[in-house]
Amino acid sequence: MNKSIILLKNLLLSTSQFNIFRYTTDKKKKGNVIGNTIGMTILFIMLMVYCIAQCIGYGKLGIIDATPVLCALLVSAIAFVFTFLKTNGYLFNFKEYDMLISLPFDVKTVAACKFLYMYIKSLPWYMSISVAMLIGYSVYAGFSLPVAILWILLSLCLPLIPMVLASFLGFIIAKIGSYFKKTNIVQTILTFILIIAAFMSRFVIESVFKNGQVRDALEQTKAATEDAAAVYLPAGWFAKAINELSVTAALFLIVVSILLFAVVFAIVGRYYRSLNSALKSHAASGEYTMGAQKKSSVVNAIAFKEFKRMTGSTVYLTNAGVGEILVCLLGILSLVIGFDRLVSTITQNAPFDPAILRPAIPFIVYFCLGMISTCACSPSLEGKNYWIVQSLPITRKTLYQGKMLFNMYLTVPFMVFATVCIGISAKAALPDLLLYLILGFVLCAFSTTWGCVCGIRHMRLDWENEVEVVKQGAAVGIYLLINMVFTMLSCVGSVLLGMRMDHRILTGIFIAVVSILAGLFYKITMKLAK
């Protein structure tokens, strides 16, 4: 067999959920696999329903021909973001690097196989979007077997170009970070700078549309997709191949994807060994002096240890900190451009009074902060060092209390900042603002305790790569699914009920309900800790 195929096959088998379910005798592990599969299936169905709804909207507007461009842009955007956040941990500075590099494989082969492994693991997300878009497109444009076959085949190529570009960008960031002593911090800062730039570009584009360059919703949608296809050529090739059955456009997409992959990984492969060695090496300071020792409680010491664990991992820090960065930007933008304009930008100028959204301010802030709870992944991140934690003279209750305290330390200050900024921008009265802060606090407690329940119940210690726990673990997936449904229902409920009752009474009811849920999950956590 080809060496690349052998390596890729073993990488997939070593992390295959089906493989674990098939061979394990542990009923708990089998249950975790079943639960993870059900949760992921629900997420895929929700994503497909959303994509089909978008196609229905395009069909009703009479611009169904723009669907292929939308599909290409959506898949490419998600592929770029997923890969960019996973590059450090999957492609560079991964735990099993020493083992893989000692095998009789060329360095370029190892790098390419790690990329293809990342591609295959993310492929279900991309294909669920593409298949859903194909269904919606076929309803209005009519089903055609050649179009369906071409759509599916080219959909396999669509993620490659953005993934390669994201990998190369991650390579540049890793290369820059390797020259500094605080490698992880530098890489994280550069990553956040790019995330902030992408977030801010959304409002730059919105300001262009407000300058009268488009006339109505239909022309705006068509112009946006046509301009995007002109700038991002792969989306244009995909659309032309589907709408016109252009063989030339299809070949362009396939050939350019393969050539770009070959060129980029020829460059990456050349520096792969030296870069990973630099990232995994840490210089010791020769000027260390013993300072005064500080005394703190055991719970605070565990929280500080969790802080050091997060800042020592780029994957953990970027995923756990992205919500905090976004909520800060949201708060600053609300002060700069105003609450009313911010709401109209997000809702695409929907005709309603932004004041009705005031009761939802704590949930809008929590939508960003609650994207991930450190407690959902921190128990699993102990990994093969879990025996060290077990041998410490502390109870498990104290351990999980420390982990929960760290998540509160991380989320509450950002919640206060964003809530105050948005509250001032929305001209909320002082009593309302105080109630929003209390509700925000108990929401952070809800996120912390619910995340800890998921983290303990679905703890996974046999991982080889942090990404498997931080981004793809069953605990994180289940936490995210339930939390997303809870946040969306709360946002909608606060707006609808806010139009029928006093806002302060409504906020007080939400405080009571969320407090009860947070207290219940805390009790469950303490029970599981036994």
Question: 282: helix, coil or strand?
Answer: coil
Instruction: Tell me if 358 sits within 8 A of 425, measured CB to CB.
Output: no
Nearest Cα to 442, choosing from 508, 353, 386? 508
Instruction: Tell me if 415 sits within 8 A of 323, measured CB to CB.
Output: no
Q: Which long-range contacts (CB under 8 A, 24 or more apart) does 216-220 make?
A: 217/61, 218/61, 218/62, 218/63
Give the pLDDT band of residue 95 (cuts 50, 70, 90): low
Q: What is the pLDDT of residue 51?
A: 85
Q: What is the pLDDT of residue 183?
A: 52
Q: What is the pLDDT of residue 510?
A: 92
Give the pLDDT band of residue 216 (cuts 50, 70, 90): very low
Q: Residue 497 burial (CB < 10 Å; 0-12/13-18/19+)?
A: middle
Query: Is it the case that residue 448 has pLDDT exceeding 90?
Result: yes
Count other Cβ atoms within 10 Å, centred on residue 124. Answer: 13
Q: What is the mean pLDDT of residues 398-409?
A: 91
Residues 470 and 373: their CA atoms lie apart, in Å, by 10
Instruction: Tell me if 290 sits within 8 A of 382, measured CB to CB.
Output: no
What are the two backbone dihedrals, phi and then psi, of residue 92, each rounded to the nearest 5 degrees?
-125, 150
Q: What is the mean pLDDT of residues 366-379?
A: 86
Q: What is the pLDDT of residue 208?
A: 40
Residues 428 and 283: their CA atoms lie apart, in Å, by 52
Q: What is the pLDDT of residue 182?
A: 54
Question: Which of 79-93, 202-216, 412-426 has the lowest average pLDDT?
Answer: 202-216
265-284 residue pLDDT tens: 788 777 777 766 666 654 44
pLDDT winner (highest mean) among 299-313, 323-337, 445-459: 445-459
Place of tokens 């010791």: 284
Q: What is the pLDDT of residue 203?
A: 47
Q: What percent of the chain shows pLDDT beyond 70?
A: 79
More confident residue, 510 or 230: 510
Q: Which residues pair with 92 in a beta bridge?
A: 88
> What predicted TM-score, i.e. pTM, was given to this entire model?
0.66
Q: Which amino acid is at 340?
A: D
Query: Is it the case that residue 287 has pLDDT exceeding 70?
Result: no
Q: What is the mean pLDDT of residues 342-348?
A: 62
Q: What is the mean pLDDT of residues 291-299?
A: 69
Query: Is it the case that residue 16 has pLDDT exceeding 80?
Result: no
Give the pLDDT band of residue 232 (cuts 50, 70, 90): confident
Residues 420 and 36: their CA atoms lie apart, in Å, by 38
356-366 residue pLDDT tens: 778 888 888 89
Local structure of residue 293 (DSSP, 8 states): P
Residues 436 and 56: their CA atoms lie apart, in Å, by 38
Instruction: Tell me if 362 sits within 8 A of 439, measured CB to CB.
Output: yes
113-150 residue pLDDT tens: 888 888 888 888 889 989 998 998 888 888 888 888 99
Instruction: Tell me if 314 sits within 8 A of 188, measured CB to CB.
Output: yes
More confident residue, 110 or 130: 130
| Average pLDDT, rounded, for the chain | 78
User: What distances in angstroms separate CA 346 from CA 334, 341, 364, 418, 458, one per listed residue?
Assistant: 12, 9, 12, 17, 35
Query: Is it the case that residue 184 has pLDDT exceeding 90?
Result: no
